[in-house]
Structure 1
């Protein structure tokens, strides 16, 4: 309880709530105080977990977190931490859990140094809100995203890959393990002078390019929007925005060139990343702007071995049919079953593994090759490519002659201001 009380005192975001109707615009309000009694009880075979899942937060009343401790034995207990996603993103969530445990041990052991607040540099979540409002007002970021959306097609999940019979909100998760590839992928990042994020994002874009016939498309990229201010990394909050990441398939000939292309594109868009997605969507007009997003997460600097890589439960429904996120030594695909069935999600997951294996094995290998799971190539070339037809096949000259006989006066070809009919072109 002491640790929890200290957390609420230190962090404004834990004392915030949302008022959507009272004022002239929706506001996130910081309350002077907030109380959070910690529940301590015996382990209950999932009863607490189910209770947390089915008990909604009142978003008008802080704090939007709940803490339960389940006693499992004389020396063992389990922390059940529940939060409303609008106040915390992944970095803040993991950092907060780590700080909570450090404070708990400090108060338990009487370690004054462990519970002494660290200097925050004066940064606040309000600084991020101000930066977002500045981005909206300036106009430069709006023009940038209008150009990106206008020049690149929206990437959609393949039609017919879902299962309409499943209940709405049914999601499937497919982790792809990278432990055996990590060292070589990091070596590729180092030699190309890019981040590991660029390598994994490049793999994602390569897989997505195999699911569409568009060569210039955009897909969602979750960006960190923290202000570049001292101590901002220690300010908890929702510092995220998802933006359309533009990609031109086929430009890079090698994997090394591909990750460089991706890194340069991210560098270009980075100054514009705070222009909010809802505004980009409104500027684009009707139609879905994003079906798929990629979210690079690396929380090792804040939680070490404290938090299980895949142990948390995400019950946050979203409108995205396909979500791709890095989690420790995994890439995790989360697919909405009505848009992407488990069988098709597994096919996509297999493509990620093949692409990453190719990148790790030979960074200078051909990045334009198509990498399909076992049996897929045979399906495309043979099973789905049957040549049976009731009309006998003909050669192009024969087919053209027949067409010219049928419609001799129809326009056959146009170049600039010049047009020829079928009869003229045949002559």
Structure 2
């Protein structure tokens, strides 16, 4: 019954509006023709809570007399009214002696009270108080819920997966030995660190955010679900490396991370997270935080660390600290279920119409033999280049993300020989209309296909503005899963939607975490992760802008990746002086040719 009520839109107010206020004779006639219920039930609530405690006024216990004329005709044969007064439930039964005997109504009322007591006892019984209606974001039968409760009790919540979580779970299950999306972050910490307080702080922070306590289940279910436990214990390891040289510490850290990655995570056992505190000096530590991407995205790092550092300082000083209530991740999942899939389907069908295969570089090798671990090459732009790009973006109302994607699109177009290309990109996924979403913890980002056309007869600036406008249009449809989007495209299921992927990581760290205001400060951050894409570009918004390409070595040669990186860098260096240049005039160049190219364009820098 609770589940049925929850599925009635707006608590049923629409029925009365349609029947009595619509003014449409056909609707009124149709609703009047429906069978009329024989029994009405009206729960009036806890009235003693509505009035403040007062010696002057209080609810009268005397009968208030008949509310309707005894000559009137009631719609229902039996009317039941319930109200709570002074902590007691009062139930009144109204009936017609022309239709029912008093003894019949008394027996019915006694059975009602007996059944109500049974329900109360069942709800108070440990372990058996949940019904599927308690978890409206999960499609569960009573039997499925009982099984989950038996395995994961005590439960805090159960809900569906976000679009990206669905993809992450699929790839993690499809190739478990590859350790895809097992993320490792290494923070170099300096300051006064109380190990006991630090562990307590992490325990408190993890257990106050439901998304960090999730276990993922799929067997014997219609769809995968995440089950949230009431509390979890975080595996926390401590080692002392202070007697090792710097070189030995780095080698030991490399071996530790390798072994840690091999451990992976059992997706159905919470928490999908573990930590290690490695002392490398009297006031310096390497803190290794390993977790699965299913739990959170990069935007969550800074607010979580901010909470941990503040709690660590409070516990170290034996002080109480009250943090704001976290924004539940389930609010975002509920918002997702309210989105219009019909409009999204029309948008993506139009956007991807005519593309029947993923875009490739054209330098791929046939990958025979045993798969090898991904390899990463990276570079940082010169400080003056990063400054020029930021200035360029501000001047023309563009984002750095669009400049980077534009450079990638030009490179991919020239290599593939296509003027209509497709690659993947991450989006923040945090809807502005959801209150407090910027501080919520969970997986909000999503990966979407980006289709780019490269006409030769348009200037670089006009083209970049078009890319930004297209990006803005995608914002309204950034909540669909890649599997769903591919089903709306012309690309067959046996092919990937795209093979080339770019992530623009703009995850600022709180100033307090870098300055040591809480007694600890972060000196350095390194992160490691594997995706299912053979070629991925990661751009980090460091002061100098760093670009990393992670690739499958059996598919791409190292020298080819090195050349792409150099050309990527060269394009970005020439962008500020090339806004009026036609796309057809921009060629792939080496860095030594930049100045010569700029001079030949004779661009008016003003």
TM-score clears 0.5: yes
Deviation (angstroms), 1:99: 3.3
Q: Secondary structure at the match of 2:276?
A: strand
1:325 corresponds to: 538
2:349 corresponds to: 146
- The two structures have a TM-score, normalised by structure 1, of 0.79
Deviation (angstroms), 1:50: 3.1
2:448 corresponds to: 243
Note closer, same or farther for the CA distance 1:246–1:37 as it changes in structure 2 (3 Å cut).
Answer: closer
**Whose Rg is larger?**
2
1:103-149: CA deviation from partner (whole Å, max 9, x where unpaired): 3234224564xx431354xx3222332333344x6311012112222
Point out which structure has higher relative CO (alpha carbons under 8 A, 6+ apart). 1
1:14 corresponds to: 212
Note closer, same or farther for the CA distance 1:75–1:236 as it changes in structure 2 (3 Å cut).
Answer: same
1:223-270: CA deviation from partner (whole Å, max 9, x where unpaired): 121232222111111112211112110267333223211111101111
Q: Secondary structure at the match of 1:103?
A: helix
1:175 corresponds to: 378
CA contact (8 A) 1:158 1:212 kept: yes
Q: Distance in 2 between matches of 1:364 and 1:105?
A: 54
Note closer, same or farther for the CA distance 1:37–1:301 as it changes in structure 2 (3 Å cut).
Answer: closer
CA contact (8 A) 1:354 1:371 kept: no
Q: Secondary structure at the match of 2:392?
A: helix
Q: Is residue 118 of structure 1 aligned with residue 331 of structure 2?
A: no
Q: Secondary structure at the match of 2:278?
A: strand
Unpaired runs of 5+ residues, structure 2, are 1-198, 242-248, 515-520, 594-606
1:403 corresponds to: none
Q: Is residue 372 of structure 1 aligned with residue 585 of structure 2?
A: no
2:484 corresponds to: 279
Q: Secondary structure at the match of 1:86?
A: coil
Deviation (angstroms), 1:52: 1.4
Note closer, same or farther for the CA distance 1:58–1:98 as it changes in structure 2 (3 Å cut).
Answer: same
Q: Kindly tell me the number of residue pairs found equivalent between the two proteins.
A: 370
Q: Distance in 2 between matches of 1:272 and 1:222?
A: 13
Superposed counterparts of 1:5-44, under 5 Å:
5-43=203-241
User: Which of the numbers 350, 355, 364 marks the counterpart of 1:161?
Assistant: 364
Q: Is residue 313 of structure 1 aligned with residue 528 of structure 2?
A: yes
Q: Distance in 2 between matches of 1:339 and 1:309?
A: 32
Q: Distance in 1 between matches of 2:454 and 2:317?
A: 57
Deviation (angstroms), 1:74: 2.0
1:289 corresponds to: 497
1:300-331: CA deviation from partner (whole Å, max 9, x where unpaired): 254764667762222x241x121112112212
Q: Distance in 2 between matches of 1:262 and 1:308?
A: 37
Deviates more, 1:172-181 or 1:247-256: 247-256
Q: Distance in 2 between matches of 1:293 and 1:309?
A: 26
2:471 corresponds to: 266
CA contact (8 A) 1:252 1:261 kept: no
Q: Distance in 2 between matches of 1:253 and 1:164?
A: 38
CA contact (8 A) 1:291 1:322 kept: yes
Deviation (angstroms), 1:93: 3.3
Q: Distance in 2 between matches of 1:117 and 1:246?
A: 43
CA contact (8 A) 1:252 1:258 kept: no
Deviation (angstroms), 1:89: 1.4
Q: Secondary structure at the match of 2:384?
A: coil
CA contact (8 A) 1:16 1:29 kept: yes
Q: Is residue 340 of structure 1 aligned with residue 556 of structure 2?
A: yes
Deviation (angstroms), 1:374: 4.0
Note closer, same or farther for the CA distance 1:362–1:309 as it changes in structure 2 (3 Å cut).
Answer: farther
Q: Secondary structure at the match of 1:288?
A: coil
Deviates more, 1:151-160 or 1:265-274: 151-160
Unpaired runs of 5+ residues, structure 1, are 378-427
Q: Distance in 2 between matches of 1:291 and 1:73?
A: 43
User: Which of the numbers 282, 288, 293 marks the counterpart of 1:74?
Assistant: 282
Deviation (angstroms), 1:56: 1.9
Q: Secondary structure at the match of 2:416?
A: coil
User: Which of the numbers 421, 424, 430 marks the counterpart of 1:226?
Assistant: 430
Note closer, same or farther for the CA distance 1:12–1:65 as it changes in structure 2 (3 Å cut).
Answer: same
User: Which of the numbers 206, 211, 226 marks the counterpart of 2:415?
Assistant: 211
Q: Is residue 107 of structure 1 aligned with residue 305 of structure 2?
A: no
Note closer, same or farther for the CA distance 1:49–1:98 as it changes in structure 2 (3 Å cut).
Answer: farther
CA contact (8 A) 1:242 1:277 kept: yes
1:200-242: CA deviation from partner (whole Å, max 9, x where unpaired): 2222212221122221222112112123222211111111221
- The two structures have a TM-score, normalised by structure 2, of 0.57
Q: Secondary structure at the match of 1:210?
A: helix
Deviation (angstroms), 1:65: 0.9
Superposed counterparts of 1:185-200, under 5 Å:
185-200=389-404
Note closer, same or farther for the CA distance 1:218–1:307 as it changes in structure 2 (3 Å cut).
Answer: farther
